[in-house]
Amino acid sequence: MDSISHNAVAAVAADTVAPARWNVDQVEALFDLPFNDLMYRAAGVHREHFDPNAVQMSTLLSIKTGGCPEDCGYCPQAARYHTSVETEELLSVEDVVAAARAARDNGATRFCMGAAWRGPKQRELDRVLGMVKAVRELGMETCATLGMLKEGQAEQLKEAGLDYYNHNLDTAPEFYGNIISTRTQEDRHNTLDKVRAAGLNVCCGGIVGMGETRRTRAALIVEIANLDPYPESVPINNLVQVEGTPLHGTAALDPLEFVRTIACARITMPKAMVRLSAGRQEMSEGIQALCFLAGANSIFYGDKLLTTGNPEAERDRALMQKLGLHAMRSGC
């Protein structure tokens, strides 16, 4: 490392005051810190704002699977790709409530509903509104990811009792066209503006491991952290490669680089819930433990919803017990 970059990294290590707005050089300097220094700083920020041993438990259900007209290079639900995902119709309210009840009984406090749409038609949204109301009646926080919203739709979701709307920025602006061509990142920002204006909490993150550089990862963190305000919930996804998608065969991201990404998200968005999201099931227990130390305090829990027996949930509970972690009981 040359003297200039060494001095820049040293300054970042010493500086504990977050800037009003982050820039890519600043976040890349965070990434470049010695691993122990980065972990120390991220863990300190986490402890300033959260119980470091508490984890918020969410469960995600696909309420409408496959057949999406978008061309996201990472997504097996795109209709144009030949994957093992089969197109399914929108679930009934009864099926969604049964899944939410099972998730709640397994310890989840937030229930997330995802639909493979470019954006919902009004008749589709009407059915989702019924799902939101019914899940809220179970005493759970609700989250939905339905694609791009039209005028007035965010307000309808708010009225139905939705707590969070998920709409990821996916990757850095300059890399966006490498991953998706059927929409722009500005389209994503437009929906996020509608969500904020309606008074909904924002869940917004991105995906790493798609062949991007470290600087691109830093630029993604900057794009999210500079939202005004930054999101209440920030899912960090590690690409899960699916045969038949364009990104299948991409060189895997080094696991410690993923941990660094979690740490940078925590430092730049100190009060957000940072979710260790897609790709977690493929991570070793050691890497997951480092992610929690770096400031991750939310997970998708028991990804496969079953009414009897849930190996994923049981494995998560065992890991949390090993690490001395406990579930958050109240909403955050």
Q: Any idea what the CATH number is for the domain that residue 239 is in?
A: 3.20.20.70
pLDDT at 2 over 90: no
CB 74 within 8 A of CB 245: yes
Phi, psi at 22, each rounded to 5°? -90, 150
Q: Is residue 253 part of a domain?
A: yes
Phi, psi at 170, each rounded to 5°? 70, -65
Q: Is residue 17 part of a domain?
A: no
145: nearest Cα among 221, 97, 85, 204? 204
- CB environment 20-36: b (16+ within 10 A), e (fewer): eebebebbbbbbbbeee
User: What total number of domains does the chain contain?
Assistant: 1
Q: Is residue 13 part of a domain?
A: no
Q: Is residue 2 part of a domain?
A: no
Stated pTM of the model: 0.89
- How far apart are alpha carbons 116 and 229 in whole angstroms? 27
Question: What single-letter DSSP state applies at residue 178?
Answer: H
235: nearest Cα among 260, 204, 210? 204
Q: Is residue 14 part of a domain?
A: no
| Average pLDDT score over residue span 160-184 | 95
pLDDT at 46 over 70: yes
Local structure of 29: helix, strand or coil: helix
**Partners of 59 in beta bridges:** 111
Q: Is residue 12 part of a domain?
A: no
Q: Is residue 22 part of a domain?
A: no
pLDDT per position as a tens digit, 246-286: 899 999 999 999 999 999 999 999 999 999 988 888 899 99
CB 190 within 8 A of CB 148: yes
Q: Which residues are the active-site residues?
A: 68, 72, 75, 112, 143, 203, 275
Q: Is residue 169 part of a domain?
A: yes
For residue 50, give its domain range: 29-327
Percent of the chain clearing pLDDT 70 (strictly above)? 91
